[in-house]
Amino acid sequence: MNNTVVIWPFAIFLVFLMGFVADRTNLCSVNAVKEVLFKRRASLLLSFARIVLWVLGVSMLLEWLFGVSSPTRTNFQFGIPGLVGGILFGVGAVLNNGCSLHTLTCLGRGNMDMAVSISGLIIGAMAAKALFGQVPGLAPVAVEPALAVDLFYRDMLLLTLTIGMLVELFRLLRGFRFSECKSRLLASEYLLPSAAALLGIANGILLALVGTWMYTYTLIQGASNLLFPDSGFYQPLPGLLWLLLLAYLGGIVASSYSRHELAVAIHPGLQWFRYLAGGILMGVGASMIPGGNDVLLLNAIPGLSWHALPAYLSMLGGVAIALLVLKHYFATDL
């Protein structure tokens, strides 16, 4: 049987589920930094860490049990341009009032203003790629393998992650009743540990079966293939990735509709310039890193790429700097 017949529908279902869950959580890198700066809590950052560990554990377990290894990975060399790109992305996310994950969630809820931000993301990414040909050393450098790990340490890591996942599953499912499935599924807001488990398990399977699939990667690579077809930026883009983008957006739409919060609206105004500027900065940063916060969290960090964690930390730093500047110098209500 053709693997496409099995893998494509399963992958589409998992991504739809992730979109459904994303709509019922508050997982946003900007909100995570706000929580740390102004509420002195780190529950959202801890949830991101949980997601990364779930993705890493599930993908490693699938490779160990069934020999299923990711067909594509986002593996790049650590460098200063990636750190600068992270800061630019973080500043852009603040101007945009949310990271790339939050942007698509708002779009799926009916906020058409986010189309301006996504357009800016593509414009900024293409401008950065055009600049790469003019400024040596600015473009990210791909490396293989991502990170060599001794077999003994890899097995110890897998054992530790497996034990941790089993303990977490026991904690989450303790006292669970099948009669509660519908009420839990349709809860207006998911508890962060539950949401992290659902998103992490689903994406761990996707990482093993599909590889890099997140929407910022699909949009940026698709635009790059269109505008730079004869350059080194060109990479074949499977049709499945476009279906996954639509499935993720569809999951958000379905969830918001079931919560009676789907409201299609567009509000032309000066805020569009802010969304456009934020999107452009996010696009430039995503090209320099490379990867938006969705790619870093769901693929590159659990894929053990050298560039990923430093880039994400610099992204959080950029968010923090922008938030503090807006609060103290522009009296912006955050």
Q: Average pLDDT for residues 99-119, to the nearest whole number?
A: 96
Q: What is the pLDDT of residues 286-297, one digit of tens each?
A: 999 999 999 999
- Which range of 152-161, 172-181, 231-240, 282-291 scores highest in mean pLDDT? It is 282-291
Whether the per-residue pLDDT at 72 is higher than 60: the answer is: yes
Token pair of 47 as six digits: 């949830």
Whether the per-residue pLDDT at 176 is higher than 90: the answer is: no
What are the boundaries of each domain within the chain? 3-329
**Which pLDDT band holds residue 177 (cuts at 50, 70, 90)?**
confident
DSSP β-bridge partners for residue 248: none
Whether the per-residue pLDDT at 274 is higher than 90: the answer is: yes
Q: Average pLDDT for residues 233-246, to the nearest whole number?
A: 93
Q: What is the pLDDT of residues 19-60, one digit of tens each?
A: 999 999 988 999 999 999 999 999 999 999 999 999 999 999
Whether the per-residue pLDDT at 74 is higher than 70: the answer is: no
For residue 321, what are the CA distances in angstroms to 7, 31, 95, 291, 326?
42, 14, 12, 20, 9
Q: Model pTM?
A: 0.94
Whether the per-residue pLDDT at 149 is higher than 80: the answer is: no
Mean pLDDT of the chain: 92
Q: Average pLDDT for residues 156-182, to the nearest whole number?
A: 91
For residue 36, what are the CA distances in angstroms to 43, 45, 100, 196, 293?
9, 9, 19, 19, 18
Give rounded-to-5 percent helix, strand, coil for the chain: 70, 0, 30
Whether the per-residue pLDDT at 181 is higher than 90: the answer is: no
DSSP β-bridge partners for residue 20: none
Nearest alpha-carbon partner for 244 in 208, 206, 279, 282: 206
Give me the pLDDT at residue 255, please.
97
